[in-house]
Amino acid sequence: MQLTNRTAETARTAGGPVTATYWMDHAWLGTHVEPDVTVEVADGRIAGVRTGVETPPPGATVLRGLSLPGLANAHSHAFHRALRATVQVGSGTFWTWRELMYQVASRLTPDSYFDLARATYAEMALAGVTSVGEFHYLHHAPGGTPYANPNAMGEALIAAAAEAGIRITLLDTAYLAAGFGEQPNRHQLRFSDTTADAWAERASLLKGDDHTLIGAAIHSVRAVPAGQLATVAQWAEERNAPLHVHLSEQTAENDACLAAHGRTPTRLLADHGVLGPRTTGIHNTHLTEEDIALLGSSTTGTCMCPTTERDLADGIGPAVALQKAGSPLSLGSDSHAVIDLFEEARAMELNERLRTHIRGHWTAAALLRAASADGHAALGRPDAGVLEPGAPADLTTIALDSVRTAGPVPRLAAETAVFAASAADVRHTVVAGRHIVRDGRHALIEDVPGALAAAVAALHH
């Protein structure tokens, strides 16, 4: 399969902007559950929200259950989906897990990456995700040789999201070194553009569209030399683009940064102009009080990925303290040990309960906001994640009559969603007014489990 013009072809076959009416027997309006709500869509955006509509208007599509703003998966490595279960064999650390990850990365081509990402993004749509932040650093052919199209891998991801029916913010990632003062190892040659200037030149060739935003990422302070951090930050600033960075995920990273620069990774980023309201730190796990103050005072965001952080035994980050300091919280499925934003939301709360022996650090409303509006904002879409006129017509509906969700009264449906529901309870997903998942089935990809199985098998044979 050739990926040339694939995204354009997908856009043509998907049709133009959608005008439609959806009637919801229950909808989450940000502060409460409202019964009998109609959402009118024009040109892919919400044109009106009406409450007290007791029966569906003629021609309206009926969504039964609890309808929410579409979920934002703010941190994804699509190819890690091929690691599910494989990395659960035996024991080890983050660093031994990383060796297995490198093996899968070494086998990917633009075509096999497209196949895997398309199936992974379809799984996200089935889980109620309407927008994904793809932290993309697998740029070149094995050995580091650029493809004839230097963005063949990134464009494969954009095309995959288009065919799966969800929005993508492609966070093109600078990954230049193996560690402080270390050249990339043989696995990392695929990731490296050699310098930040060369990274910027290649990333500047990427183009967005109605469903695609182009952002930037610094893989980590160990992977981008300190003197080149500002180049990446400036590239993002000139484009008003989101900028993400893995930050203090491991204590070993902190120790190495202190040894090399005499300061923490957070302070190093602050000193080179990386922090700010368009920037999101991923994980932010092992922070000092000064680090937390720096992130909060600069309104740098925090993306927590609890299912990955616990899977890799990384630790529990100070999410409560970060939010109190002024850092907005978002959520991501990261390595895709599972793809379930409801699980990520409740895991953030439940992890904190285990750590502090206190219940109720966030309300269900606050956790839903992290999974939706604040996640979309971190991906460069501050108008998304709400059921309000003018917002993108992106929403998801979960069943309130499954074995997990049946029983509670509808006014507690937000609590039911966060603390009991799972991705398996998603019945509908709508993106730009278009029904992508209907009654639990993907409308664009007939057999998502089969597509996942085939794409993963191709990388393990």
Q: What is the DSSP string of 404-432?
A: TT-SS-GGGHHHHHHHT--GGGEEEEEET
Q: List the one residue out of 256, 229, 258, 248 whose CA is nearest residue 287.
A: 248
Sheet containing 212-218: give its strands across. 71-76, 129-136, 167-174, 212-218, 243-247, 279-283, 301-304, 329-331
Q: Which of 239, 225, 366, 395 is nearest to 304 (CA)?
A: 366
Q: How far, in Å, CA of 145 to CA of 24, rounded?
A: 52
Q: Active site includes 334?
A: yes
Annotated catalytic, 140? no
Nearest CA among 219, 242, 218 for reference residue 232: 218
SS3 397: strand
Structure tokens at 189: 């040659």
Contact, 236 vs 213, CB < 8 A?
no
Catalytic residue among 283, 286, 376, 442: 283
Contacts (Cβ under 8 Å, ≥6 apart) of 191: 137, 138, 139, 140, 173, 175, 184, 219, 223
Name the catalytic one among 25, 172, 193, 334: 334
Which amino acid belongs to residue 438? R
- The angle that helices 196-203 and 226-238 make with each other, rounded to 10 degrees, is 20
161 Cβ contact list (under 8 Å, min separation 6): 117, 121, 132, 134, 167, 168, 211, 212
Residues carrying an active site annotation? 283, 334
